[in-house]
Chain A
Amino acid sequence: MRRGRDRLIAIVWPVALGTLSGALLLLVLLPIAGLLFTSSPGQLLRGLRDPLVAPAIRLTIATTLASLALIVVCGTPLAWLIARGRGRAWRFLETVIQLPVVLPPAVAGVALLLAFGRRGLLGPELAVFGIGLPFSSAAVVLAQSFVAAPFYVQAAVAAFRRLDPDLLLVARTLSAAWPRVFFTVALPLSWPALAGGAALSWARALGEFGATLMFAGNLTGRTQTLPLTIYTALESDLQTAQSLSIILVAVAFALLVAIRAGGRR
């Protein structure tokens, strides 16, 4: 009796584990395979000749790099403050800054419009200076920064929290004021984690779609980044959409490998 049950478990358990894992793996891998193997290299190259492609690549590189710069330059000090902050207000702030991660992109788009749009919170003030953010490349940068910043800030906060407090204190006893402690001890020691966070952030900015579409629109050369180009091309030329998708998959995969390699060090 016992023996029979043992044998049953020995068969059913591995089969169950394998089937369920396999189903999820297929769900992830099949679409990637579809992207890679349904067109010949020649067709894919032809897809890249679409007039929408070149401006989209230029715009995507420019806006994501601008977003990354904004996120790193402002996010590093913010992360430092949160990591060193004591008390409930800082913990609350840490939660708030993570909000865009779980926010639906459509909601992010509406929120950005209601903040920076012509009839938004800052609309009248911006109009005074002749600044109309929506449907500009600047709007693309804002949308990307909004959704991508939490990834960098979170990584930086964790890195700064891991610093041995004795290192910072000893630096101060050696006459280093806070700015010097930050630049000569905290930053060099946190550098690998900050780079990993920046890479994640950049990957997220590269893929930004929903918030950009709603807040910045879909204007070729101005706000049409690669994900928006894919969306647009889908209606006319599936080949172009496929070619661009493969480029984004390759970049995303390279970033993922780099981040994991960096994390192991």
Chain B
Amino acid sequence: MRGLDVDIGGKVGKIGEQNGGLAIELAFSVSADAPLLLVGPNGAGKTTALMMILGALAPARGRIRLDGAALFDRDRAVDVPVERRRIGFVPQRYALFPHLDVLGNVAYGVRVRSRAERERRAREALAELDVLALAARRTAELSGGEMQRVALARALASRPRALLLDEPLAALDVSVRRDTRRFLADRLRALAIPTVLVTHDLADAEALAGDVAVIEAGAIAQRGRLTDLVAQPRTEFVRQFVAGRAP
């Protein structure tokens, strides 16, 4: 059974914390063929869902499976720690390690003993994303678009079995956003691993050609191609959320 299967639920955190008291009820599958885009308003639980898939937060109930293997299963007391889940993660502000140069960042997650081999694979990952020229640069010197590519290269150099991206384009200027979006769409297609993308921008959904899941108050209100969501919204919330998008 290839792909990422998620079926989780329960209350999140304590009242007063971020998203505290939010009840989550999420079930979805993502194959390697096309990314899934989680869209929805702030506070709907998109990032919380990512944290649970990564293993940084434990859901109160449910299962998370990747390629058939359980990463989390409350009933069987399975909870694989973050570092052994092998899920690549690109956070919203990229979180590049400021004390390492670009090559050091990308080499961080390469699991081989030899330093030369580690750096060779890091360079390879940078070349894949057309940013090999940045290898010796400090992360503070990078533009937003460059940071995003380096963060993606870092995630991919560790050869993850799935990939999570939290608002990958939100921190970029509008001028570079369109190009980066197209670039990202190409890469994700070539990668062929299950990918979940959190976004609040439906333009991402059009470019990335995956399913869109509209999240409302911790649950998926509707999932499907963006055109179908526009043509046949199942709830008033979905209708309003996708309103104005070309069918």
Residues on A close to B: CB < 8 A? 164, 166-167, 169-177, 184-185, 188-189
**B95–A176 touching, CB < 8 Å:** no
The minimal Cβ–Cβ distance linking B149 to chain A, given in whole angstroms, is: 15
The minimal Cβ–Cβ distance linking A122 to chain B, given in whole angstroms, is: 38
* Residue with the greatest number of chain A CB neighbours at <10 A, chosen from B84, B99, B154: B99
* Residue with the greatest number of chain B CB neighbours at <10 A, chosen from A174, A175, A184, A185: A174
**B89–A175 touching, CB < 8 Å:** no
| Interface residue B158 (Cβ < 8 Å from any Cβ of A) | yes
**A166–B95 touching, CB < 8 Å:** yes
Alpha-carbon distance A188/B93, docked complex (angstroms): 20
The minimal Cβ–Cβ distance linking B17 to chain A, given in whole angstroms, is: 9
Alpha-carbon distance A170/B82, docked complex (angstroms): 9
Interface residues on chain B, number (Cβ under 8 Å): 25
Given contacts A174-B108, A174-B154, contact A164 B95 (CB under 8 A): yes
**B154–A169 touching, CB < 8 Å:** no
**B91–A176 touching, CB < 8 Å:** no
Given contacts A166-B95, A169-B82, A189-B98, contact A176 B54 (CB under 8 A): no
Which residues of A lie under 8 Å from residue B92 when comparing CB positions? Answer: 166
Alpha-carbon distance A126/B93, docked complex (angstroms): 54
**A177–B91 touching, CB < 8 Å:** no
Alpha-carbon distance A170/B99, docked complex (angstroms): 14
* Set A166, A169, A175, A177: member contacting B158, Cβ < 8 A: A175
Main secondary structure of the interface of A (DSSP, over half): helix
How many A-B residue pairs have C-beta atoms within 8 angstroms? Tell me.
57
Alpha-carbon distance A182/B145, docked complex (angstroms): 29
* Set B81, B93, B98, B158: member contacting A174, Cβ < 8 A: B158
Hey, what's the 0/1 contact readout for B179-204 against A, CB within 8 Å counting as 1?
00000000000000000000000000
Can you sample 28 A-B contacts with CB below 8 Å?
Answer: A164-B95, A166-B93, A166-B95, A167-B95, A167-B97, A169-B54, A170-B89, A170-B91, A170-B95, A171-B97, A172-B82, A172-B83, A173-B82, A173-B83, A173-B87, A173-B109, A173-B158, A174-B83, A174-B108, A174-B109, A174-B154, A174-B155, A175-B84, A175-B109, A175-B111, A184-B108, A185-B97, A189-B99
| Interface residue B178 (Cβ < 8 Å from any Cβ of A) | no
**A173–B97 touching, CB < 8 Å:** no
Which residues of A lie under 8 Å from residue B81 when comparing CB positions? Answer: 172, 177
The minimal Cβ–Cβ distance linking B74 to chain A, given in whole angstroms, is: 21
Which residues of A lie under 8 Å from residue B95 when comparing CB positions? Answer: 164, 166-167, 169-170
Hey, what's the 0/1 contact readout for B202-219 against A, CB within 8 Å counting as 1?
000000000000000000
Alpha-carbon distance A185/B105, docked complex (angstroms): 11
Which residues of B lie under 8 Å from residue A189 when comparing CB positions? Answer: 98-99
Which residues of A lie under 8 Å from residue B93 when comparing CB positions? Answer: 166
**A173–B111 touching, CB < 8 Å:** no
Alpha-carbon distance A170/B83, docked complex (angstroms): 9
Q: Residue of A at shortest CB range from B87?
A: A173
The minimal Cβ–Cβ distance linking B96 to chain A, given in whole angstroms, is: 8
